[in-house]
């Protein structure tokens, strides 16, 4: 279990399920998070992307790349980055968006279709 309230942000999650669990555990007492929990999904995503999204991108090393110039990255690929890379997601913003979207779905008892979400993201990048 990755729970504990310290600067390590509960450890590094290895997959989407752990990431959602860890995210909710960390933010569950934040007033602004609780206010947004039941807002429409796009509002939830937009409001959390720059704050909480940036925090998880940095804390979970979602921008990790071989030979990355960051002063203190982990020596090997973080488990969540590996998980996302294996399902075809390579951009840190996409990774954090998927986590935040999955959090919204869990909080609102809605099913989250990771394969559909990955396809949308991949189609977007193919069109660019």
pLDDT digit string, tens, across residues 42-98:
999 999 999 999 999 999 999 987 766 655 667 788 999 999 999 999 999 999 999
- Smallest CA-to-CA distance from 104 within 55, 43, 54 is with 43
* Domain count across the chain: 1
- Residue 8 domain-assigned (yes or no): no
Q: How sure is the predictor about 35, in pLDDT bands with cuts at 50, 70 and 90?
A: confident
Q: What is the mean pLDDT of residues 20-44?
A: 90
Mean pLDDT across the stretch 89-118? 96
Instruction: Read off the pTM.
Output: 0.86
2 domain residue, yes or no: no
In which domain, by residue range, is 31 found?
A: 16-64+72-127
How far, in whole angstroms, is CA 11 from its chain's centroid? 13
In a domain, 27, yes or no: yes
8 compared with 49, residue with greater pLDDT: 49
Could you tell me the pLDDT band of residue 11, with boundaries at 50, 70 and 90?
confident
Q: Is residue 120 one of the residues assigned to a domain?
A: yes
Domain-embedded: residue 88: yes
Question: Would you say residue 5 lies in a domain?
Answer: no
Q: Is residue 44 part of a domain?
A: yes
List, for residues 43-55, the tens digit of each pLDDT value.
999 999 999 999 9
The candidate with the shortest Cα–Cα distance to 33, out of 100, 118, 113, is: 100
The mean pLDDT value of the chain amounts to: 87
Q: What pLDDT was estimated at residue 4?
A: 39
Q: Is residue 9 included in any domain, yes or no?
A: no
Residue tagged 């007033």 (tokens): 31
Contact at 8 Å (CB) between 53 and 97? yes
> What three-state secondary structure class fits 40?
coil
Mean pLDDT of the 37-44 span: 93
């Amino acid at each position: 279990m990755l729970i504990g309230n310290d600067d390590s942000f509960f450890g590094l999650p290895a997959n989407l399920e752990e990431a959602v669990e860890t995210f909710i555990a960390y933010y569950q007492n934040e007033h602004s998070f609780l206010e947004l929990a039941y807002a429409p999904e796009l509002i939830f995503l937009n409001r959390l992307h720059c704050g909480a999204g940036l925090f998880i991108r940095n804390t979970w090393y979602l921008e990790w790349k071989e030979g990355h110039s960051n002063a203190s990255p982990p020596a090997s690929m973080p488990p969540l980055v590996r998980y996302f890379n294996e399902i075809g997601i390579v951009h840190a913003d996409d990774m954090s968006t998927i986590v935040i979207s999955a959090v919204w779905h869990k909080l609102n008892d809605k099913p989250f279709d990771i394969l559909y979400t990955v396809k949308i993201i991949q189609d977007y990048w193919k069109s660019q």
